[in-house]
Amino acid sequence: MPAHISIDRLTKHYVVGHDRVVALDNVSLSIEPGSMVAVMGPSGSGKSTLMNLLGLLDTPTSGSYRIGDAEVAGLSDAARSRERRERIGFIFQSFNLLPRKSALENVAIPLMYAGVGRTERLERSATLLRQVGLGDRMRHRPTELSGGQQQRVAIARALVNEPALILADEPTGNLDSQTGREVLAMLRQMHAAGRTIVVVTHDRAVAEVAQRIVTLVDGRIVSDELVDNTAGGPAAGHGQDALAAWGSASDERSNVPATGSGQAGDGGPAPDAGSAADASPALDASPALDA
């Protein structure tokens, strides 16, 4: 469920040989539940570093990170993995789907790590795939899907655990402009449905869907501006465009806005992750997975 996110003087240093890189320098940010923040800035400015910290894929050198009431900056690896599985959904530029798994299995992975039983896993995953317009592609492997379809699978995977926070690092970066617009439409939908979203982008069109654009330069926030997108607003007119843009999802369209929190029906909390959760740091997240 959405939670208030706040980071306070978060700093990340990398040491390479004798050099120290200050990738993130005392960054503080408060993100309201249900808001959408775009992070922009030149290459090397610390955007992905920030996302990796927000996503609990990495630990800060110093500073505080709170999700709701929980301080998560100083957690052990195991505790971070658990928090990540339960609270965070990722969408990456390169999709990061498991190549030998079907779309359905890919979406179900976070549920497996959360200890959800197979039948429920597959049902919930199928529901989400239908919502992203891929009801007829569930058995396809990633190589049998277009780029935009792969990203929609990744979006379904990011949503399946009902995360408090959705992180997208250049989600349209590898897509042509039409497909990028489709993915943008889905971000709008997630936002309209009340999700908390942080999206890194170089694309002004993506940034303008957000309510707020935070710009990083050299690891620091140099501007934090509110975007006036009230004309038609993300929850109003755009929502319809978004649905129209899903084209192939015609039979599922009516499902999309209604599901709000993203799950049809079941919605029950996942059993505690402990059991099925293994040592694997982030099957739901690790950029290294596809390597």
- Interface residues with ligand ATP (CB under 6 A) are 14, 16, 21, 23, 41, 43-49
Q: H or E element: which one contains 25?
A: strand 19-31
Any bridge partners for residue 10, and if so which?
A: 27
Smallest gap from Cβ 93 to Mg ion, in A, equals 8
195 makes contact, choosing from Mg ion, ligand ATP, none, with CB < 5 to 8 Å by partner type, with: none
The whole-angstrom separation of Cα 70 and Cα 269 is 18
Q: Which of the choices ligand ATP, Mg ion, none does residue 44 contact, using the CB cut-off of 5 to 8 A by kind? A: ligand ATP
Q: Which is nearer to Mg ion, 48 or 127 (CB)?
A: 48
**Residue 23 or 108 with smaller CB distance to Mg ion:** 23
Residue 23 interacting partner from Mg ion, ligand ATP, none (CB closer than 5 to 8 Å by kind): ligand ATP
Residue nearer to ligand ATP on the CB measure, 51 or 242? 51
Q: How many CB atoms lie within 10 A of CB 77?
A: 11
Phi/psi region, residue 247 (left: phi>0; alpha: psi -120 to 50; beta: rest), is left
Residue 55 binding partner per list Mg ion, ligand ATP, none, with a CB distance cut-off of 5 to 8 Å that depends on partner kind: none
| Close Cβ partners of 17 (under 8 Å, ≥ 6 residues apart) | none
Structure token pair of residue 157: 């995977």
Distance CA 151, CA 164 (A): 20
| Dihedral sign, Cα of residue 132, residue 178, residue 198, residue 283 | positive
Site for Mg ion in 36-55 (CB under 5 A): 47-48
Q: How far is the CB of 94 from Mg ion (least distance, A)?
A: 11
Q: Which H helix or E strand runs over 112?
A: helix 103-113
Q: Tally Cβ neighbours within 10 Å of residue 237.
A: 11
User: Nearest approach, Cβ of 281 to ligand ATP (angstroms)?
Assistant: 15
CB of 70 to ligand ATP, least distance (A): 24
> Least CB distance from residue 60 to ligand ATP, whole Å?
13
Q: List the single partner that 43 binds among Mg ion, ligand ATP, none, CB under 5 to 8 Å by kind.
A: ligand ATP
Kindly state the smallest distance separating residue 65's Cβ from Mg ion, in Å: 19
Instruction: Name the amino acid, one letter, at 124.
Output: R
Please report, as ranges, the residues that interact with Mg ion according to CB under 5 A: 47-48
